[in-house]
Amino acid sequence: MAYLQLRTWKLGVKSLILHPLRSLLTVLGIFIGTASVIWLLAIGEGISSKAQEQIAQLGADNIILRSVQPLKSKGATGKQSLVAAPYGLTRDDYTSLFQIPTIARAVRIRETRRECKYQDRSSDSRVVGCDPEYMEINRLEVDKGHFITDSELKAADLACVLSAELAEKLFRYEDPLGKTIHIDQYYYTVVGVMRSKTATAAVGGSMSGQDFAQDIYIPYETFYRRIGDKNSYFHNGQFTRENLQLNQVTLKVRNPDDVLPTADAIRAMLSGRHPDEDYAVVVPMELLEQAKNTRLMFMVFMGLMAAVSLVVGGIGIMNIMLATVTERTREIGIRRALGAKRGDITRQFLIETIVLSIAGGLTGVLGGLTAGPLVLGLRSFLEFAMPSAMASMPESMRDVVPIIVPWSIPLAFGISMMIGMVFGLYPARRAARMNPIEALRHVA
């Protein structure tokens, strides 16, 4: 019995080899469908993982409050008025937040643009007034010296810490530590230099992207006393006036389980203080859950798109096998006349479709594993051919690295096998139901 089964498989492979081009094109359809399942799911997983990584960097046990300029403080054309109206989070808000018992700590952030100078070199930089914990919540690392300390914060010292890129731009080959830079009418002593950090993409409602390359960090109390709340600056071709006490407050909750109730308590407290809704509450935990749900929907959508390719490949198998049945009508009649049963004929043609499916599935899996190199190569080509179009794409898509989803490999191979069997069943049954006498009369 085993010998007969092995012989049937050999006959199936031999029949396919007799028409190599036809068999190759059929295998190609299954290959494309199988590889597409793995490719699209890998790209979807890469995009999703990038977005979740950016959200996770905000901290699952953090709550971020951001000041948002209300629309009524702008004119009808969207331009700011000549007199900057106060808006956003205040120092009183910051103090009141500690009344919520689940909050472990709060980090103040105030930002503005200033020109900083050292000798004959200058730079348009972002001045960040912050607390010492700012380094931890943004995952910054010190390269030289130290970050802002509690003593420098309390004394409102004229101390500053530079980003790696800004330090190189202003001091070049000199050691910045201990030297002074000029901002407005004050001289700040450089006490530290940070390590380089890549920019982050915009995340959530009012969380804009962060570029740390031109940052100067000073104690928040120094910012409040030396720069103040009312500022005006010219940046990227736009003149900005602001009357703002705090750009952001990052809160750390004592227990991750208390994040969502604490966020509700904060919203309730701020809603009475800010009727103009000039603030936003960003909860990374909520965004992370939304990103996970979006990931599932995105992967289902990608999988359905890839499944269409497999169905097309299955239709190709059916088409080829129907043509094969017609060509081999006389052969079927001879086999039936020699004693072959309908089951034997059905099995013969099913084996041929299964061989095609296995060949297409295996090569498709191997092709699917090349998703990473193919995407990287395509991205390099597009960056060379269309640099402006690539630059305008979202970072999560522009820098995506495909991640092979392990279960997509057996899924794609299994679907290819099922598609081959389902679409090969009708031609096989049609061949088995032929009248032997009519089949013998058929002239090829």
- Which whole number is the average pLDDT over 135-145? 88
Q: Is residue 396 very low, low, confident or very high in pLDDT (cuts 50, 70, 90)?
A: low
* pLDDT of amino acid 176: 94
Highest mean pLDDT among 100-109, 192-201, 232-241, 281-290: 100-109
pLDDT of residue 375: 79
What pLDDT, on the 0 to 100 scale, is given for residue 136?
85
- Largest pairwise CA distance in the chain: 106
pLDDT at 206: 47
Which run of H or of E encompasses 241?
strand 238-243
How high is the pLDDT of residue 357?
85
Q: How confident is the model at residue 240 (pLDDT cuts 50, 70, 90)?
A: confident
Between the CA of residue 319 and those of 23, 326, 365, what are the distances in Å? Answer: 12, 11, 24
Higher pLDDT: 274 or 209? It is 274
In this prediction, residue 401 carries a pLDDT of: 78
- Among 266, 162, 260, 253, which residue's Cα sits nearest to residue 214? 162
- What is the Rg, in whole angstroms, of the alpha carbon atoms belonging to the chain? 33
Percent of the chain with pLDDT over 90: 23
- State the Cα–Cα distance between residues 289 and 256, nearest whole angstrom: 14
Of the pLDDT bands very low, low, confident and very high (cuts 50, 70, 90), residue 78 is: very low
Residues 357 and 417: beta-carbon distance below 8 Å: yes
User: What is the average pLDDT across 285-308?
Assistant: 69
Give the pLDDT score at 77. Answer: 44
Percent of all residues in the chain with a pLDDT value above 70, rounded to a whole number: 80
CA distance 203 to 51: 8
Q: How far apart are CA 365 and CA 368, in angstroms?
A: 5
pLDDT level of residue 11 (50, 70, 90 thresholds):
low
pLDDT at 394: 60
Give CA–CA dist 11/23, Å, rounded.
15
Q: Is the pLDDT of residue 203 over 70?
A: no
**Which of 95-104, 202-211, 286-295, 355-364 comes out lowest in average pLDDT?**
202-211
Max avg pLDDT among 5-14, 294-303, 414-423: 414-423
The residue ranges of every structural domain in the chain are 2-55+289-441, 62-254
In Å, how far are 34, 217, 304 from 281, measured between CA atoms? 44, 24, 36
Q: Which of 47, 53, 56 is nearest to 295 (CA)?
A: 47
Work out the number of other CB atoms within 10 angstroms of the CB of residue 366: 13
pLDDT at position 80 over 70: no
